[in-house]
Amino acid sequence: AQSVTQLDSHVSVSEGTPVLLRCNYSSSYSPSLFWYVQHPNKGLQLLLKYTSAATLVKGINGFEAEFKKSETSFHLTKPSAHMSDAAEYFCVVSRSSNYKLTFGKGTLLTVNP
């Protein structure tokens, strides 16, 4: 069994300040973890992916996430928010070689000027 909990449904930051989007997961197996971003009226786009290599994963647009097995967390961070980062972010867990992904409910990121 696997599950994902995104701890904040909405995060609001000012432009130029750090971003932290929190994700905890549960998995009976060694998981693969993903962050996807969805801009308004668009499909989801992969930000980054963890698959048991380096625990700190760098993604597109300056985002990165750290896999912490002891805390079962995979939080997404960015040092400095940009207006274009305003979107919904989904944390996703999957069992390796399994076709099925489990999505979190999403975190809406608002960036204020």
Partner 1 sequence: EADIYQTPRYLVIGTGKKITLECSQTMGHDKMYWYQQDPGMELHLIHYSYGVNSTEKGDLSSESTVSRIRTEHFPLTLESARPSHTSQYLCASSEVGDSPLHFGNGTRLTVT
**Where do contacts with partner 1 occur on this chain (CB under 8 A)?**
4, 9, 32, 34, 36, 41-46, 49, 51, 90, 94, 96-106
Closest CA to 85 of 34, 16, 23, 24: 16
Shortest spacing between CB 43 and partner 1, in angstroms:
3
Shortest spacing between CB 49 and partner 1, in angstroms:
6
Shortest spacing between CB 16 and partner 1, in angstroms:
28
For 63, the token pair is 């985002």
| Residue 105 φ/ψ region, left for φ over 0, alpha for ψ in the -120 to 50 degree band, beta for the rest | alpha
